[in-house]
Amino acid sequence: MFFEIIDVFISGLINGSVYSLMAVGLTLVYGVTKAFNFAYGSFYVLGGYFAWLLLVRYGVPGGYLTVIVTAVPFFFVIGFLSEKILIAPLRRYGDWEMKVMMLTLGLSLFMDYSFQSVFGPRVKSIPSFTEDIFEFGDFVILHQDIAIFTVSICCMLGLRWVLNNTRIGMAVMATAQNPVGAQIVGIPKDFIYAATFAISTILAGMGGILLCQKNLINPMGGSDIMIKAWVITAFGGMGSIRGSLYAAFILGMLEAFVGWYFGMMYVQIATLTLLLVTLAVRPKGLLGRE
Amino acid sequence: MLDITDLNAYYGESHALKNVRMRVPKGEVVIIVGPNGHGKSTLLKSICGLVDKVQGQVAWNGEDITHLGTAKIVNMGITYIAENRELFPYMSVRDNLKLGAYSRRAKANEKKNEEWVAELFPKLVERRNQLSSTMSGGEAKMLAIARGLMSDADLLCIDEPALGLQPSYRTDIFRIIQEISKQGKTVLLVEQNIPQLFEMADRLYIMDEGCLSFKGGKEDALSDDQLKEILFGM
C-alpha cells in the first residue's frame, strides 16, 4: 500500500511537471497578448512528430540530446513565423482577440489533419530516454520519469531566468503588465508579441517531446492536451504563471490519485469538477489578477 | 528642435487635433495650457507615436518621425511621461527604472542616468525593492518621471505631472523640472497647476478644442486675456 501511494505520487509529480510546462506557455501568450492560442495542442503533437522524425525515421546521432537542442530553435522559428504571418495581420482590426481565437482554432484543425495525411492516422511511438530503473526492494522508479521531470523543471527554470534577467524577458513581462507603459519606454510591441508566441511554441514542442514517450503520438491528440492545458490555465488564473505552476501540480496529483483510487474513467470528471468549483468560488482562478 | 506642421489626430470619429503648428527649440521649456479634454495630451502622444491615426508632419532635428513608431522615436531621444503614469505594477521600482532604459540609446548612458535619477529622487533609492503598485499616487508619479529620465531623452513630453497630487509635491515637481532644464534638455509640458513654472517657461501655448494658438514668450503671454482666464480665472 505504502509503495503504491509513493508510486502514484511520483506519477502525479511527473504529470504535473509536464503539464506545468504546457500550461505556462499557454498562459504566457494570454498574459501578454490577451489572446488565446487554440493551436497550442497541435504544436505539442508537432513536438512528438519532430522527435519521431529525428529519432526513428532519420536516426540522428546524439539521440535525445540532439532532439532537445534542435527543438529550441526549430520551434522558436515556427512560432515566430506563425505569429508574424497569421496572427499579426489580424491585430489591425477592432476585436482582434476574438479573431485570433477563431484563426488558431482553424490552424489547429488544419495541423491535425495535416499530421494525419503526412504521418498516417495510426499512433506512433518514440523510444524512451532510457529503459533503466531504480530499484529499492519493492519500489521502482523509471529513469525515464526522472529524466522527464528534470527536463521540464529545467525548462521552467530556464523560462523564469529568461523572463527575469534578460532584456527580452523583461520586455515580455512589461508588455503583459502594461502594454501602453511598455510602448512608452520603447519596447517594440509587435516583436514582443511574436517572441512570446515563439517562446510558448517552444514549451508546447518540448511538452510533446517529453510526454509522447509515455503517451504515444496521436495525430488528433492535440485537443486532449489543449483541454488539459486550458483547464490548468483557467484554474490557476488566466495570465498568472505562478498560478499555472501550482495548478499543474495540483491537477497532476489529482489525476494520479483519482485514477488509482477510483479508476481512470473518473479522472476527467474530477478535473473538471475541481475547475468548476474553483471558478464558482473564485472566478479569477487561484492566482488570477482581475 | 521639434517642428510640427499641420498635425491632425483622430480617435475614431472624433477629430482631436486640428492643423496644429508648433515649434519647440532646443533647450527651451514650453508649456501648453487649456481646458481638459481639448487635445493637450493627444498632442504629446501624437509626437511620441502613441496615436494611431495622425496626418501632417512631426519633425525632430529635421527628420520626419510622424509614422516611425514609438520604439524608434524613443531611440531618437524623445520620451513621453504619462499623466496616469503607466508603470509596471508588479515590478519593483528598480525594474521599472531599468525598463525605462530599454532603448539602445538609453543603454549606452544607463549608469550616468541612474546616478542622476538617484540624486534627484533619493526616496526611490530607498524604495528600490518596493512594487510600484503599492506606492502612493505622488511617489508613483515621481517614479514615472524618473523612468522617463532613464530613457536619456533630449525632449521630455511631460503630461500634467501635478494633477491629482497634494500641494507639497508641486514644489518637488517644480524643482525637478528646473533640474531637467538645467541639464540642457528640452521640456514640453502640459501643466497649469504650478504658477512658478510660468516664470521659467520660454513659450506658452493654449490648446482650445484641438486648435493650438501661440501666446509668445512669457511676458506677452501673461498679459493675454484668454490665458489669464484659464490660469487665474480672471
Number of residues assigned to chain A: 290
Strand partners, A142: A133
Distance between CA atoms of residues B209 and B207, nearest Å: 7
Residues of B with CB under 8 A from a CB of A: 48, 50, 69-71, 73-75, 79-80, 82, 86-91, 95, 98-100, 102-103, 106, 147, 151
Cell numbers for B179, please give them: 533640474
User: pLDDT digits over B135-155, tens only?
Assistant: 999 999 999 999 999 999 999
Comparing CA positions, the residue from A27, A39, A16 lying closest to residue A233 is A27
Share of chain B above pLDDT 70, in %: 97
Distance between CA atoms of residues A171 and A182, nearest Å: 7
A186 shares contact with chain B (CB less than 8 Å)? yes
Distance between CA atoms of residues B214 and A260, nearest Å: 79
Task: Tell me whether residues A187 and B99 touch, CB distance under 8 A.
Answer: yes
ipTM of the complex: 0.92
Task: Tell me whether residues B69 and A188 touch, CB distance under 8 A.
Answer: yes
Q: Which of A180, A181, A186 sits opposite B74 (nearest CB)?
A: A186
The answer to whether B4 and B173 have CB atoms below 8 angstroms apart is no
Is residue B24 predicted with pLDDT exceeding 60? yes
Number of residues assigned to chain B: 234
- pLDDT of A215: 86
> Quick check: helix, strand or coil at residue B16?
strand
DSSP A13-39: HHHHHHHHHHHHHHHHHHHHHS---TT
**How large is the average pLDDT for residues B87-92?**
95
Task: Tell me whether residues A178 and B86 touch, CB distance under 8 A.
Answer: yes
pLDDT averaged per 10 residues in sequence order, chain A, 290 residues = 86 90 90 88 96 95 93 96 94 86 94 96 91 80 88 89 91 95 95 94 94 91 89 89 92 94 91 92 84
Q: Which of B73, B75, B89 sits opposite A177 (nearest CB)?
A: B89
The answer to whether A65 and A229 have CB atoms below 8 angstroms apart is no
Which class for A88: exposed (0-12), middle (13-18), buried (19 or more C-beta within 10 A)? middle
Cα dist from A233 to A224, A241, A242, B139, B219, whole Å? 14, 9, 10, 34, 62
CATH number of B2-232: 3.40.50.300
Distance between CA atoms of residues A251 and A207, nearest Å: 16
Q: Which of A177, A186, A188 sits opposite B90 (nearest CB)?
A: A177
Cell numbers for A95, please give them: 476585436
Domain ranges of chain A: 17-220
- pLDDT of B72: 96
- pLDDT of B233: 66
Cell 503517451 -> residue:
A215
Half-sphere exposure of A4 (CA within 13 A, CB side): 5
Question: For residue B209, how far is the Cα from the chain centroid?
Answer: 20
> Which residues from chain A sit within 8 angstroms of residue B71, using beta carbons?
183, 186-189
Task: Tell me whether residues A178 and B50 touch, CB distance under 8 A.
Answer: no
Distance between CA atoms of residues A29 and A10, nearest Å: 29
Chain A residue with CA closest to B150: the answer is A185
Cell 529568461 -> residue:
A162
Residue type at A105 in one-letter notation? L
Candidates A183, A184, A189, partner chain B, best to mutate (most B CBs within 10 A): A184
Share of chain B above pLDDT 90, in %: 75
Question: Which uninterrupted H or E stretch holds A192?
Answer: helix A189-215
Measured in angstroms, the CA of A119 and the nearest CA of chain B are apart by 44
Residues 6+ apart with CB under 8 A from A85: none
Question: For residue B113, how far is the Cα from the chain centroid?
Answer: 18
Cell 493654449 -> residue:
B206
User: pLDDT digits over B33-68, tens only?
Assistant: 988 889 999 999 999 999 989 999 999 999 999 999
- pLDDT of B40: 95
Across A70-79, B170-179, B225-234, which has the greatest mean pLDDT? Answer: A70-79
- pLDDT of A135: 82
Ranges of H-type helices in B87-194: 93-100, 104-108, 110-120, 122-126, 137-149, 167-182
Distance between CA atoms of residues B93 and B91, nearest Å: 7
Is residue B232 predicted with pLDDT exceeding 70? no
- pLDDT of A137: 76
The answer to whether B219 and B227 have CB atoms below 8 angstroms apart is no
Is residue B234 predicted with pLDDT exceeding 70? no
Chain A residue with CA closest to B77: the answer is A186
The answer to whether B1 and B27 have CB atoms below 8 angstroms apart is no
Q: Please, what is the average pLDDT of chain B?
A: 92
Cell numbers for B166, please give them: 497634494
Ranges of H-type helices in A53-95: 63-82
- pLDDT of B222: 67
Contact pairs from chain A to chain B, CB under 8 Å:
61
Comparing CA positions, the residue from B207, B158, B204 lying closest to residue B178 is B158
Domain ranges of chain B: 2-232
The answer to whether A43 and A208 have CB atoms below 8 angstroms apart is yes
Measured in angstroms, the CA of B197 and the nearest CA of chain A are apart by 25
Cell 489543449 -> residue:
A226
Grade residue B221 by pLDDT with cuts at 50, 70 and 90.
Answer: low
